[in-house]
Amino acid sequence: MPALKPLPDCEGPKLEPCPFDVVGPDCQWLAVIEDGHHSAVVKAAIKGKLYAIKIFFPESLKIVLGTEEIDHFKPLVGEKAMILHLAPFNAECRAFGRLKEMDCEHAAVRVYGYVNIDMTEAVEQKIRGAMPGRFDDPRSMYAIEGVDLVLCRVGNTGPPIMAIVKDWIEAAPDFRTDMIAQGRSFRRILKNLHKLHRCGIVVRDISDAQFVNGVLVDLSHARTTPHVFGPDSGIRPAWEWASMAAYDLYSLQEMIDWWNETEWSWIPGDAPAPKKCTLRAYGDPEGVVLDRLRPRARLECQRPYLRMIDLHDYEYLQMTHPPRYDPAAFDWRKAVERKKKRGAQAKPSPSSTGRVQSRVRLGRKRGHASTGRTRKAAAVKQENGVRVEEE
């Protein structure tokens, strides 16, 4: 069998194949979550460690783009390019690939790679075994949804089902604990969102369904530069990337606002109600930042505002506040070069190994100024109202 190559097969970041055999006898499929729009997520165990295997439903480009959009862009960029950049599996491979490239994996769930799953009867047994009762109702035969979309492929000679293997994140034991933990994780989520934007990634689908215990697990709507609709593509305007990043922050603000409105007395449990979260991920789109105590001065934002591009063009929002980092400003070519250089430097000659290591240790112990210098090197400058990173 030919060796698997990193995917997707187009310019930009890619994800390596996963080294584990997730369909073999050593991998137990414990449960299947059927919540997602694009996928079913298997909770699996290999040698006592838990993993999430996200199995993508086939042919899901239509889930991310409307038929009109597909027809409009097909003659301009071709269907293949759209699938390579926008299909949920490829979108996740590219986004997680970029996070690895930038040593920024901690900004979302840890990913081990992708797998091709041949839909054999053995795999069907694993799925059925992990979903007791799911197939008992004869009426379910008429509704082909969720894992049925995958099971339809059993015995087919079509392309394999694609999956991505991630760390399993254990959810909180009950709703109240989960909600309290969510409040504590907003600050970290905001920090991570800024990091993603800085790495040329927009998530576009921020909601509490995409987080487990404060960890971002879903990047299937993400767009990562370079992209078929990217800043250099000439197909869509470059400001859209700042706009999509602003929408990520706006969506996080909505999560915070909803959380602040929680009626704690209605949620069972003894844990005391937490204090309100004062963090602001995004300014008020009306241009006024409302304080709990008093309204502050109207912000001076340049008008007319650009549109804030939401996931499905449902809402009519304006980008009243720019994001901290414009993903379009991320220089992905430079990043690849840097990664290559670092890769070469990481293989020092045997004689120099000891010296390099001891220098690193000394630097850490004495609180060496190198961290300060590295931070300075990434000076932030203001450009067109959008903060960009100067590498």
Ligand X SMILES: Nc1ncnc2c1ncn2[C@@H]1O[C@H](COP(=O)(O)OP(=O)(O)O)[C@@H](O)[C@H]1O
Q: Which helix (H) or strand (E) holds 180?
A: helix 175-198
Shortest Å distance, C-beta 343 to ligand X: 28
Judged by beta carbon, residue 88 or residue 323, the one nearer ligand X is 88
Shortest Å distance, C-beta 218 to Mg ion: 4
Shortest Å distance, C-beta 226 to ligand X: 23
Q: Tell me which residues touch ligand X (CB under 6 A).
A: 33, 35-39, 41, 52, 54, 88, 109, 166-169, 209-210, 212, 217-218, 220
Cα separation of 23 and 55, whole Å?
12
Shortest Å distance, C-beta 2 to ligand X: 29
Closest by CA position to 56, among listed 38, 70, 34: 38
Residue 54 interacting partner from Mg ion, ligand X, none (CB closer than 5 to 8 Å by kind): ligand X
Residue 183 interacting partner from ligand X, Mg ion, none (CB closer than 5 to 8 Å by kind): none
Judged by beta carbon, residue 162 or residue 335, the one nearer ligand X is 162
Judged by beta carbon, residue 147 or residue 242, the one nearer Mg ion is 147
Judged by beta carbon, residue 57 or residue 239, the one nearer ligand X is 57
Shortest Å distance, C-beta 138 to ligand X: 26
The letter for the amino acid at 243 is: S
CB atoms within 10 A of CB 364: 11
Tell me if residue 335 falls in helix, strand or coil: helix
The half-sphere exposure of 364 on its side-chain side, counting CA atoms within 13 A, is: 5
Structure tokens at 176: 């109240």
Judged by beta carbon, residue 150 or residue 217, the one nearer ligand X is 217
Residue 127 interacting partner from Mg ion, ligand X, none (CB closer than 5 to 8 Å by kind): none
Residues of 24-42 as b/e, b for ≥16 C-beta within 10 angstroms? Answer: eeebebeebbeebebbbbb
Residue 27 interacting partner from ligand X, Mg ion, none (CB closer than 5 to 8 Å by kind): none
Q: Which residue's Cβ has the minimum distance to ligand X?
A: 36
In DSSP notation, 27-65 reads EEEEEEE---SSEEEEEEEETTEEEEEEEEPSS-HHHHS
Cα separation of 386 and 104, whole Å?
22
Q: Tell me which residues touch Mg ion (CB under 5 A).
A: 36, 210, 218
Tell me if residue 46 falls in helix, strand or coil: strand
Judged by beta carbon, residue 73 or residue 211, the one nearer ligand X is 211
